[in-house]
Chains A and B, each alone.
Chain A
């Protein structure tokens, strides 16, 4: 906690991803596990499929994201490419959304660039407003959330987001959960050292 506080990353209020009043993150302890198998039609019911994954370094700064989000953009485009999907196929975005001023603005810009006109029509959330930032576990939790959203037909809203920042203009799920059944989801994650990763997931047919 002291380390994040020293970097002025911790909020003194509450976590508000993509909100104009956002002031930082809070930590949340978590553990998440996903069992992955070959796509051979064997075994029991599947929660979904991993269609694509990509990663990229910023090569920019040890503790801050690249100001133009180059690494994240590369990762998102490559993950969509590997999954053989276009922005038109994406039904939902689980954003990294830490609630820090810089991350959320850069991430929103990257999503607008990579998803194009579809960016304003694809529901976006961040569960860090509810769970805090669980660091290494966060990406696994968010991937699971994407697949559960597909199974349950509902996307959780971004807790703490009340006044969307105009600089983070996306179709945020705010106020209450949204009844929708995303089939293809995009999930983004960033880390210290300028590492960026993106997953494209497909929920199992119900």
Chain B
């Protein structure tokens, strides 16, 4: 048995009778282990890595009591959106509210928070078994309370939504670069359907906390692994987007990999930033691959 997609009454029409037909990528911000922005990217990431497996990103220092407990990937997500707003001179109030959609993508960045929870739990158990009473272990038990919500990938999008007051549509996609292409496509659909006035597509990838795991599964991903947080802001515009599943990488996909290294879900956003830096204002084709599946999005 299957379920089909459809609206109950075609005569009733879409929710927004005059949806915009196109989109524009208004801004892109990129933070990577190489530095802030794409100007920090080396010409050849593999050579610049000089044998290092992981090029780590910093832990952003953000003001606010809430950020004391937030995980590094959450802080990086907030920092990427903040960088986008600052670099594009967009006020925070502009994106606050239900007219802004947030679509978050990651292939690896919930691994760090799961690792933190497992370590905290292991410490608590070890100390309790070592003779510490449950009562005295109370402060250690709170570590579970602190870390556990962050083991869910939705926590990352949640922290960004809380920080910027985003109450519009959301999406959370788990996967590498192909999932980011899906996210960009989803953003264009939300805009075309009048479901939002602007859409943030955010990707964060961290590797350092789970570096031992990546060392064991090193055939699964290319090197160097470069931590990154990137964000694109899409708004209604003149360019029509087309989604497909190409077999070969676009020029931008290859360029982003050569310049940045392996950034998983951040790669298509880095590619968009490279295109903008190169002066591409019109047609742009970005593609992304993850474990044998490649997706493409073409703005014309």
A25 to B165, CA, bound (A): 29
Residue of A at shortest CB range from B162?
A: A59
Q: Which of B151, B152, B167 contacts A71 (CB 8 A)?
A: B167
Assess whether B195 is in contact with A57, with CB atoms less than 8 Å apart. Answer: no
A109 at the B interface (CB under 8 A) = no
B15 at the A interface (CB under 8 A) = yes
Assess whether A49 is in contact with B145, with CB atoms less than 8 Å apart. Answer: no
A31 at the B interface (CB under 8 A) = no
A191 to B104, CA, bound (A): 15
Residue of A at shortest CB range from B66?
A: A62
Q: B191-236: which have CB < 8 Å to A?
A: 193, 195
Assess whether A57 is in contact with B5, with CB atoms less than 8 Å apart. Answer: no
A145 at the B interface (CB under 8 A) = no
Assess whether B157 is in contact with A195, with CB atoms less than 8 Å apart. Answer: yes
Given contacts A54-B195, A55-B171, A58-B167, contact A191 B152 (CB under 8 A): yes
Interface string of B1-24 (1 = CB under 8 A from A): 111111111001101000000000
A43 to B5, CA, bound (A): 13
Given contacts A7-B145, A36-B4, contact A84 B167 (CB under 8 A): no
- Please tell me the number of chain A residues within 8 Å of chain B, measured between CB atoms: 53
A147 to B1, CA, bound (A): 11
Q: Which of B6, B152, B165 contacts A59 (CB 8 A)?
A: B165
Nearest CB of B to A38, in Å: 6
Chain B interface size, under 10 / 10 to 19 / 20 to 34 / 35 or more: 35 or more
Residue of B at shortest CB range from A196?
A: B170
Nearest CB of A to B168, in Å: 6
List A contacts of B117 (CB < 8 A): 3
List A contacts of B12 (CB < 8 A): 84
Assess whether B168 is in contact with A57, with CB atoms less than 8 Å apart. Answer: yes
Assess whether B149 is in contact with A147, with CB atoms less than 8 Å apart. Answer: no
B159 at the A interface (CB under 8 A) = yes
Assess whether A84 is in contact with B7, with CB atoms less than 8 Å apart. Answer: yes
Q: Which of B1, B7, B9, B161 contacts A57 (CB 8 A)?
A: B161
**9 closest cross-chain pairs (CB), A and B:** A193-B158, A6-B144, A3-B148, A39-B6, A84-B12, A57-B161, A193-B154, A192-B152, A47-B1
Mark A residues whose CB is within 8 Å of B. 2-7, 34-40, 43-52, 54-63, 70-71, 74, 78, 81-85, 89, 143, 147, 184, 191-195, 201-202
- 18 A/B residue pairs, CB under 8 Å, sorted by A: A36-B4, A38-B4, A46-B1, A46-B3, A47-B1, A47-B3, A50-B4, A51-B7, A54-B195, A55-B171, A56-B170, A78-B169, A191-B152, A192-B158, A193-B156, A193-B161, A194-B161, A195-B158
Mark B residues whose CB is within 8 Å of A. 1-9, 12-13, 15, 98, 102, 117, 121, 141-142, 144-145, 147-152, 154-159, 161-162, 164-172, 193, 195
